[in-house]
Copies of this chain bind each other. A is one copy, B any other.
Amino acid sequence: MTLNVYLSGEIHTDWRVEVVQGCEGLDIAFTGPVTDHAASDDCGVAILGAEADKFWHDRKGAGVNAIRTRHGIENADVVVVRFGEKYKQWNAAFDAGYASALGKPVIVMHMPEHAHALKEVDEAARAVAETPAQVAQILRYVMTGKLPA
């Protein structure tokens, strides 16, 4: 049975690639948000027409992106949420809350210095990791019962 894993959060490093590579050989289908930052920001107006007001420019794009992200989360067996070093990343926390309310098992990934600020998110998670390698090891263990050597 294929495991559907949604990779939410930070889009400025290649952590998704690391997770995917670490899961080589496993029957996992990975999904996630559009990681092309410019396309993600402008998809609404690029397709549906320009907006004079930045607020509605953003709204249009957020609506289109939500079709993809909600679909990904709702069809996921596991949701991984990565908090990076920069930016507010409220959408990552939003996704974690959304996934939790749906009863999806959540794996949170962040640096130790964010632990206090993320304590509510961590509490709602099944596992709190620091590195993509750890996430991959968890997924491998979940699917095969094998621990890293």
Enumerate chain A interface residues (CB-CB to B < 8 A): 1, 3-4, 29, 31, 34-36, 39-40, 42-44, 46-48, 51-56, 58-71, 74-75, 77-78, 83, 87-103, 105, 107, 114-129, 134, 137-138, 141-143, 145-148
Which label, helix, strand, loop or mixed, suits the secondary structure of the A interface?
helix
Q: List 15 A-B contacts (CB under 8 A).
A: A35-B145, A39-B141, A43-B147, A47-B141, A52-B53, A54-B116, A61-B119, A67-B105, A90-B90, A90-B92, A94-B97, A97-B99, A98-B100, A100-B101, A101-B101
Number of copies: 8
In the complex, the chain B residue whose C-beta lies closest to that of A94 is B97
In the complex, the chain B residue whose C-beta lies closest to that of A83 is B90
